[in-house]
Amino acid sequence: MKILISNDDGIDSRGIYALAQELKKIGDILVVAPRTEQSAVGHAITMKIPVRVTEYFHNSDFFGYAVDGTPADCIKMGIKNILKTLPDIVVSGINNGANSAINIIYSGTVSAAREAAIMDVPSIAVSIASHDPNDYSFAAKIAAKTVITILKNKVKTGTLLNVNIPNIPESEIKGIKFTSQGKTKWDDVYEERIDPYGKKYFWLTGKLTNEDLNVNSDHAAVLKNYVSISPIHFDLTDYEMLEKMKEWDTKELL
Amino acid sequence: MKILISNDDGIDSRGIYALAQELKKIGDILVVAPRTEQSAVGHAITMKIPVRVTEYFHNSDFFGYAVDGTPADCIKMGIKNILKTLPDIVVSGINNGANSAINIIYSGTVSAAREAAIMDVPSIAVSIASHDPNDYSFAAKIAAKTVITILKNKVKTGTLLNVNIPNIPESEIKGIKFTSQGKTKWDDVYEERIDPYGKKYFWLTGKLTNEDLNVNSDHAAVLKNYVSISPIHFDLTDYEMLEKMKEWDTKELL
């Protein structure tokens, strides 16, 4: 089994290292990841400037390829120019911080998995609900088991599994929940500051709002100590609205 | 009516200028747009570095606010720090190049409208199917009519309208089609080149594949000379797959 691994925290992050160590027990791995952190980069791709790729080593051991680009770039580059064939699966992570509810939209981790889904390759995104987790080993084990499950159950092409794991000891995990994307979102605030030259600048902060506490949604499931697994696709059409639009008078639009 | 205008081609682009000129006939406009081109930036937001905002002038006339950031940043900044209240509608564009089928995923233009949808503000993204259009006036008129229609018909919160306009004379337009996101996508190729210092670099190119010729999808409708309007939302859950996953054995995952 050929497993392509990427992330958005960068190739030197602890999460991708733990993931690679676990996944090489079940398959033949290739790591292609951003050289630098690419959090909140969404599904950006690099088109206006060139992309560079170099080998990356842990001490003197080859670990993978570092790409000057986004998570989506890494998947394109890994499949088209390094592997030159489709892998059996793409795994993105392990991300520091949950990628649930509205954060799925902003997530680079999810976008790497989505880029694989666009190429009809099965894929999963794996995140742990802490920005500074003590331990990635449970999350890495869940990732490996999800890889086996997704291949056995044949998830349909174009759909990825988005896995979010609570940052608690394994013994406190209540189980697995298959969830939908929750409605929790951010109420943004820009902090206004003054630079050393007297000029204003702004820094994005915010707090969660519209907390969706339905345990069948991703954000709430993790809060309630479940591993959350959501099927995510990239057909963004609102079919319910499309049906309603049939009643609109198109003459008003021309 | 308060209209917030943004784009991804940058505040100095012809498309946003044409859009602003048309929309100020029907409402009170505010332009908040990226200082530099942000095409293919997806739904990236700026969190790791500060964001700056400055007034932008055409000759000596105030035109709007230029943000050192992404299209999504512009909507957050425009609503939270400049307007300080919700506008009646957000309009993003007029983009050079269609944002249909898979391009919706990569589009900065659509992400500005999506950021508004996340804030429960009605919004539209407007693109013209040419990277060097001669004339934006028809597209700008369609944008204004879509604004009036969306407000009259009360599109549900969380859903934006993605408008794509063929680059042909108005007299050749066949009509309006309400469409779904097409399945056309890119077969990526990285061109390998050598820099002046003898080092390899790669440039993303590609060709369209899986051409979806169903005229009820966005890409095909535009090819067939229709104005395409698609309702797009940000709930990425694949509910059909979620239903099937109920048959999975969760014990295998823990």
Mark yes or no for CB contact A42/B47 under 8 Å. no
- CA-atom Rg of chain B in angstroms: 19
Residue A186's CB is within 10 A of a number of other CB atoms, namely: 20
User: From CA B127, how far away is CA B140, in angstroms rounded?
Assistant: 10
User: From CA A234, how far away is CA A123, in angstroms rounded?
Assistant: 13
- Given a contact cutoff of 8 angstroms between Cβ atoms, the answer to whether B32 and A190 are in contact is no
User: B57-63 — which CB contacts under 8 Å span 24+ positions?
Assistant: B58/B17, B63/B11, B63/B17, B63/B20, B63/B31
CA distances (Å), origin B36, targets A55, B66, B69: 32, 9, 8
User: From CA B178, how far away is CA B231, in angstroms rounded?
Assistant: 8
- Taking one residue from A and the other from B, the number of pairs with CB-CB distance under 8 angstroms is 231
Instruction: Work out the average pLDDT over A22-39.
Output: 96
Say if residue A128 is exposed, middle or buried (CB neighbours under 10 Å; 0-12, 13-18, 19+). Answer: buried
pLDDT value for A55:
97
- Helix ranges restricted to H, chain A: 14-23, 71-77, 103-106, 108-118, 137-153, 218-223, 239-245
User: From CA B56, how far away is CA A179, in angstroms rounded?
Assistant: 45
Mark yes or no for CB contact A77/B43 under 8 Å. no
pLDDT in tens, B147-184: 999 999 989 899 999 999 999 999 999 999 999 999 99
The residue type at A186: W
Token pair, residue A145, equals 């088991």
pLDDT value for B154:
85
Q: Is the pLDDT of residue B210 over 90?
A: no
User: From CA A13, how far away is CA A17, in angstroms rounded?
Assistant: 7
Whether B203 has its CB under 8 Å from any CB of chain A: the answer is: yes
Point out which residues pair with B24 in neighbouring strands.
none
Q: Is the pLDDT of residue B231 over 90?
A: yes
Whether A24 has its CB under 8 Å from any CB of chain B: the answer is: no
Of the candidates B40, B33, B28, B27, which has an alpha carbon nearest to the alpha carbon of residue B14? B33
Of the candidates A21, A20, A72, A25, which has an alpha carbon nearest to the alpha carbon of residue A46? A72
Whether A26 has its CB under 8 Å from any CB of chain B: the answer is: no
pLDDT category at B211 given cuts 50, 70, 90 is confident
Point out which residues pair with A228 in neighbouring strands.
A164, A177
Could you give the domains of chain A? 2-182+213-234 (3.40.1210.10)
pLDDT in tens, B8-47: 999 999 999 999 999 999 999 999 999 999 988 999 999 9
Question: Strand locations in chain A, DSSP E?
Answer: 2-6, 28-34, 53-58, 61-67, 89-96, 123-128, 159-165, 175-178, 185-194, 200-209, 226-233
Mark yes or no for CB contact A199/B52 under 8 Å. yes
pLDDT in tens, B51-101: 999 999 998 999 999 999 999 999 999 999 999 999 999 999 999 999 999
Say if residue A193 is exposed, middle or buried (CB neighbours under 10 Å; 0-12, 13-18, 19+). Answer: exposed
Mark yes or no for CB contact A248/B178 under 8 Å. yes
Mean pLDDT of chain B: 96
pLDDT in tens, A166-193: 999 999 999 999 999 999 999 999 999 9
Nearest to B42 among A111, A180, A190 (CB): A111
pLDDT in tens, A112-133: 999 999 999 999 999 999 999 9
pLDDT in tens, A69-112: 999 999 999 999 999 999 999 999 999 999 999 999 999 999 99
Nearest to B235 among A52, A181, A252 (CB): A181
pLDDT value for A167:
97
pLDDT category at A58 given cuts 50, 70, 90 is very high
Q: Is the pLDDT of residue B212 over 90?
A: no
Q: Is the pLDDT of residue A40 over 90?
A: no
* Interface ipTM: 0.94
pTM: 0.95
Mark yes or no for CB contact B233/A233 under 8 Å. no
